[in-house]
Structure 1
Amino acid sequence: MKLCWLGHSGFLLECGGKRILIDPFVQGNSMFPGSLANEIKNPDYILITHGHGDHLGDSIGLYNPDVTKIISNFEICNWLISQSVNNCIHMNIGGSFYENEIQFTMVEAIHSSSIDSGNQVIYGGLAAGFIIKYKDVSIYHFGDTEIFENMKLIEKNYRPNIGLIPIGDRFTMSPYTAASACNEYFNFNVVIPMHYGTFPMINGSPDTFIEKINNKDSAKVLNPGEFLSI
């Protein structure tokens, strides 16, 4: 398996011969590596954690009806269908979808969710995180979230060994609370900070996160466009 950070909360995951995009925010993402423009075309799956424009992002533009399945919550999928995106897997918190030996599970996040659609702001359902499990690897993309005590149940039930965690502050956990979540609730082999540095207001520092995390060897700061074998 290989994982690549696309800047902000976006990731490209390659596993089982399939290509998975998570929160593919490209247009307006100053951190997106242009060299990967072709790599992200025609993905097998697109996972959307919530409806905000920096997470729903370029999902419609990257969707290929002959190849791609979009996985998101009920409300976002219904909106996507209204935009002629028909191959959408409706989910909700706690549910799983299995295909090609990959398990996709939607888990709780504490955050808002809405969709800007023309002049309308549409309810985007509950924000979520995702567990992506393939063979012995379990990846937890936190989405946008505050720290919450039920994270201990995510650890108990899914045992994620790779964590993709927001540290930017203002809209999500800060480096301090993200480190506290890792220290209190999880046993990650690798934890990758995300959702920072894209805009001036999300200025949480990965150096601070590493300083506060107990298992410093688990922290891996990726450059946008950098691949990590997991």
Structure 2
Amino acid sequence: MSLMRRDSTMGRDRLAQTRIALILESEGLGLEIGYHGHSCVQLTHGGHSLIIDPFISGNGLAVTRPEEIKVDYVLLTHGHTDHTLDAVPIAKNNDATIVAIHELATYMSWQGAKALGMNLGGKVSLGFAEVQMIQAFHSSSVIVDNEGQIIYAGMPAGFIIKWDGMTLLHSGDTALFSDMKMIGERNRIDLAFLPIGDLFTMGPEDAVTAAEWFGAKKVVPLHFNTFPPIAQDGEQFISKLAEKGIGGRSLSPGEKMTL
């Protein structure tokens, strides 16, 4: 094949791929990922949507208001305020169900929200997606400021979400732990959401290792730059992933991508 013909063929292939991508996007066939800042991501596909760890009204970097969020489910990894602040209002506004570990789900039901409790290792079908709760190494509590109480909120967790042939992992707040390897061996992770802020979670270096152990094809970093103590360079983290042959993208609050 001549150089001119080969270039022409490659050009047609790229054009065809672009057209397919545009068709998928226009028909809603790709899974849309919306980032609301901190650890809050919203997944939308096929007319359904869920949000994980909604901390929006208390995040000065957020560009969306909680009342603008439209979802079927609210998933919570643990009870800390920077992951649950807007869970009940969003759930009530949408008649959505909160999915969380048993103790935290019970507390959310006391606040008037519909809640579904589960525990580590368990799976639940949302109708449009399957969710499995996985281990995280962190802490979990609900702090009732006006009463001076700290309420036990069960174990911290992460989620594996299987949706229309795609597998996503939201690790929740966590340190690096060796069973990430086992999770990676048992699942083909298309996209992982991992914290990189350090201090309260693993930092960038451990997050790169976590991405390797999970076997993630791509990674979106979370839990950084919301407050000065967890300031990190998201693009530098993406570069470190690339050195290991792992794709990634650092999103700004309000930004979206399609898987």
TM over 0.5: yes
Tell me which of 9, 12, 31 is aligned to 2:61: 31
- 1:16 alignment partner in structure 2: 46
Separation in structure 1 between the aligned mates of residue 214 and residue 140 of structure 2, nearest angstrom:
26
Residue 105 of structure 1 and its aligned partner are, at CA, apart by 0.8
Separation in structure 1 between the aligned mates of residue 96 and residue 180 of structure 2, nearest angstrom:
30
Identity %, equivalent residues: 36
Q: Looking at CA atoms only, which structure, 1 or 2, has the larger radius of gyration?
A: 2
1:202 aligns with 2:221: no
Separation in structure 1 between the aligned mates of residue 46 and residue 122 of structure 2, nearest angstrom:
21
Contact map agreement 2:52 2:74 (CA 8 A) in 1: yes
CA shift in 2, pair 1:210/1:216, >3 Å? farther
Instruction: Letter of the 1:83 partner, please give it.
Output: Q
Q: What SS does the corresponding residue of 1:160 show, helix, strand or coil? A: coil
Residue 158 of structure 1 and its aligned partner are, at CA, apart by 2.4
Tell me which of 133, 141, 160 is aligned to 1:114: 141
Uncovered stretches (5+) of structure 1, i.e. residues with no partner:
none
Tell me which of 153, 178, 200 is aligned to 1:149: 178
Separation in structure 2 between the aligned mates of residue 17 and residue 154 of structure 1, nearest angstrom:
29
Contact map agreement 1:16 1:100 (CA 8 A) in 2: no
- 2:195 alignment partner in structure 1: 166
Residue 189 of structure 1 and its aligned partner are, at CA, apart by 2.4
Considering only aligned residues, what root-mean-square deviation do their CA atoms show, in Å?
1.6
- 2:118 alignment partner in structure 1: 91
Most deviating of 187-196 and 71-80? 187-196
Uncovered stretches (5+) of structure 2, i.e. residues with no partner:
1-30
CA shift in 2, pair 1:17/1:146, >3 Å? same
Q: What SS does the corresponding residue of 2:194 show, helix, strand or coil? A: strand
Separation in structure 1 between the aligned mates of residue 245 and residue 252 of structure 2, nearest angstrom:
18
The structure showing larger relative contact order (alpha-carbon pairs under 8 Å, at least 6 residues apart) is: 1
Contact map agreement 1:96 1:105 (CA 8 A) in 2: yes
Residue 67 of structure 1 and its aligned partner are, at CA, apart by 2.8
TM-score by length of 2: 0.82
- 1:222 alignment partner in structure 2: 251
Tell me which of 198, 204, 218 is aligned to 1:190: 218
Separation in structure 2 between the aligned mates of residue 125 and residue 226 of structure 1, nearest angstrom:
32
Separation in structure 2 between the aligned mates of residue 170 and residue 206 of structure 1, nearest angstrom:
16
Separation in structure 1 between the aligned mates of residue 60 and residue 157 of structure 2, nearest angstrom:
24
Residue 30 of structure 1 and its aligned partner are, at CA, apart by 1.4
Q: Deviations over 1:50-69 (max 9, x none)?
A: 00000012101111276301
Separation in structure 2 between the aligned mates of residue 84 and residue 217 of structure 1, nearest angstrom:
42
Separation in structure 2 between the aligned mates of residue 182 and residue 37 of structure 1, nearest angstrom:
30
Q: How many residues align?
A: 226
Runs of 4+ in 1 over 3 A off after TM superposition: 36-39, 214-217
Contact map agreement 2:50 2:75 (CA 8 A) in 1: yes
Most deviating of 206-215 and 24-33? 206-215
Separation in structure 2 between the aligned mates of residue 39 and residue 111 of structure 1, nearest angstrom:
30
